[in-house]
Amino acid sequence: MFKLLNFLRLHHWIKNFLIFVPIIASHQLDIITVKNSILAFISFSLIASCGYIFNDLLDVNADKLNPYKKKRLFATGAISVKQSLIIITILLSISIYISLKINFQFFLILFFYFIFSILYSYLLKKIIVLDIIVLSSFYNLRIFAGSLATEITISLWLFSFATFFFFSLAAVKRLTELTYLIKNKKNKIEGRGYKAIDLPIINLMSLCSGYISIVVLALYINSPEVMILYSNPLYLWGICCVLFYWITMIILEANRGNMHHDPVIYASTNKVSYICLLTILLFLIAGIY
């Protein structure tokens, strides 16, 4: 059972909490918006698992050579293609049914995400830089999906912040792979277009994009729009400080080889990240009240 849950990448479902961002950012926490956000979370999580299974199927040869991925069910031969297709069909059917219960616009974005994720697994992940852009767009799609599910329009500020912030995290993901490459004296990532010599530029991309996202947040704090939602917006500056620390720490950890895969998954198991999240929530509450 545990292996099946790991096969579905349940630990990656944490990313789908981004669906709740629109109702949190707009402060519209009512029964309808919360209900639709929960349904959207379930639907998106199930279809995301379908994408992960497809990715594992296509990456099986590369995973066998990776010390952290070689225990995946496809890599070990513990599950067949036929069995995986049955699982995908079941998950896809449930996800589509729930999405149509929400609204047709949400179904469309869900369908677009699924097709886009398959295209990424099959082709786009092999194209340098473009793969990072696509990875970061998957995060934005989750926020957009939450917006469509609740019919809450996301602001340009939120979209701009998310674009730069998640581009930084997507670059960190490649950074971890390149660090592993150098550590094991290899030259090229299997199934990707990156080489060991690309490490400095990927480092620069992650740092610059992460810091730009903080600048966007700082500009938002000084905008007229913030006065509508926050009684004490000065407290929001504390969030900028925490994010500056967290982004820098995450990139340092990746460079030291302490992060094996996805930075979001790493953060979900890291005590310092939880402290940072709690601190951000406290600053957010202080800003509201």
CA–CA separation, 6 and 23 (whole Å) = 29
Fill in the amino acid letter for 66. Answer: N
Cα(168)–Cα(132) distance, rounded to whole angstroms? 9
Q: What is the pLDDT of residue 72?
A: 59
Average pLDDT in the chain = 86
Average pLDDT value for residue range 200-223: 94
Q: Distance between CA 251 and CA 232 in Å, rounded?
A: 31
Q: What is each CA distance from 211 to 169, 171, 204, in whole angstroms?
A: 12, 13, 11
Give the residue-averaged pLDDT of 20-46.
Answer: 92
Alpha helices in 123-198 (DSSP H): 130-150, 156-183
pLDDT of residue 76: 60
Q: Is the pLDDT of residue 5 over 70?
A: no
- Give the least confident one: 2-6, 32-36, 248-252: 2-6
pTM tops 0.85: yes
pLDDT tens digit sequence for 121-148: 788 888 888 999 999 999 999 999 999 9
Mean pLDDT of 56-65: 61
What's the pLDDT score for residue 220?
93
Note the pLDDT of residue 2: 47
Q: What is the pLDDT of residue 235?
A: 93
Q: Is the pLDDT of residue 40 over 50?
A: yes
Q: Is the pLDDT of residue 67 over 60?
A: no
What gap in Å lies between CA 149 and CA 41, rounded to an integer? 10
- Helix or strand holding residue 284 (H, E): helix 271-288
